Amino acid sequence: MAEWEAVISENELTEWMTFYAKEPFGDRRSDIQSAQICALLANINRNPKKRSQPYRIGEYMLFQEKEEPKKQSPEEVIAIFKGIQQGFKKKKKRGGK
């Protein structure tokens, strides 16, 4: 966190968090893309007599969450961001960058 606070502003962090929520990147995105290809190939070669339901992307995800993430209301998301911003403001008042 100290390194982040030294190189990124509160506003920029908020912008990156918003961007990631809309357009994930990194390992999570790669996992989704790979799972899409695997499900596509499995469905192309699926024998409908042996398996009536198509394969789903989730069956090929390497990094699955144990539980479905809880859907957050817009108010909950705003509260989280406000908490992060308050943390930055407290750090600045104590003399941090």
Higher confidence at residue 73 or residue 37? 37
What pLDDT does 56 receive? Answer: 93
Q: Where are the domains of the chain?
A: 2-93
Q: Is residue 62 within 8 Å of residue 31, measured between CB atoms?
A: yes
What pLDDT does 51 receive? Answer: 93
- pLDDT single digits (tens) 7-52: 888 888 888 888 887 777 777 778 888 999 999 999 999 999 999 9
What pLDDT does 21 receive? Answer: 79
What pLDDT does 72 receive? Answer: 78
Angle between helices 10-22 and 74-93 (to 10 degrees): 150
pTM: 0.46
